[in-house]
Structure 1
């Protein structure tokens, strides 16, 4: 497995983001966005990065409050700025096509980033919630305990090293299904497992139905949830879908213009 080159990025609100870049000679770069309490340095994410790396460059990042990144997790709100810093890093390295690839919380974040910020060429959202505050499964009730209770936040910090912002959302950010229609004309692939113990397949359907064409929905019969359940075959298939999708769209008419207040160090 290739060791990525380390990157240190800074978001427009001044948060330091730990990331890694695996170079590729082609024009495509995948931005790899992990789920809640994960890190790009974990074996499951490294395996996914290696599979994506057979199809393009990869920039994998730790969201704020996770791993070696600074700040505190806002569980899907301000993390769009973390993705934006990674997109800027990809453009600076000369990649003409940027594909956002997110899992669970990361899947919700890449949908929101593409809808609110644009500037990407395709989006792959895997095992993502379509709406907020879902508590109808035991795993999600545990997640809400970890986020909303002081004891839960302390437990997650000790067990997983994830630092969660103690204050809740104010205002509540738009949910993925509320903004998915704005992603077009960039193509969107929604992937959801029929055996997902966190979010039932209705979340995948809701996200897909809220989006505009070009879009595609894969309901994977034996697939569970997010990074841990993702097989090499699934990752290769979604990477092949993304590279085909971006090759069918016109090339960008102008190079990426980085926001004037976007601080970087990589």
Structure 2
């Protein structure tokens, strides 16, 4: 009755189904873990932004990577902007989706160290080989407030292009800027959130920590697909068995009629056909 399952076609179909089931289950768990990561990240960002501001020197130091639990923490720093060593970070997008620059200005602290401050975004208003018109940073002593961010490194979605024009960089890295400044620079940088000391740049908006993305829906879809595979296989088997049974019954009936010599009944509705 089910001997057709041993045919080459059905063996291949069954093996494909057996492979697809664990693959789809694994894809579902992959999306589920991405969902969990997004939820954890959102919770971390929300806690960090809501926490009371602390001096940046309490969370980072020269040559020290910013711990993951301290990223997005609201921090403060006091000092004077070093505009002569200011650089711009290329290929950054503003709120309107246009390409431009981030303005990165060192803030000189009272103890001789510095911390990098991302003062915000400006549009690319001329050739990218030229240094753009940067709004002047406030002069004198200032106190900045912003979100602590980790250093950017090549391979994190950012290309590290060499041979750039003077005072232009592709990524924000405190170690590289420390070598350029010739002074200790705190690890990471401050993403400014206080427009009073930004100098007129467009502040980088706070990260979205409400959206959880579609990953959970994708996970459920993959798991449903994995469940549909055996269900579909059973439906196909039952349909094949029914079709084969019907074909066999028709062939048996035809063989029986041929063996008994049964002639078709005369067409009484057509007298001419019976003559």
TM-score (norm 2): 0.21
Which of the pair has more CA radius of gyration?
A: 2
Structure with more of its chain in helix, by fraction = 2
| TM superposition score normalised by structure 1 | 0.21
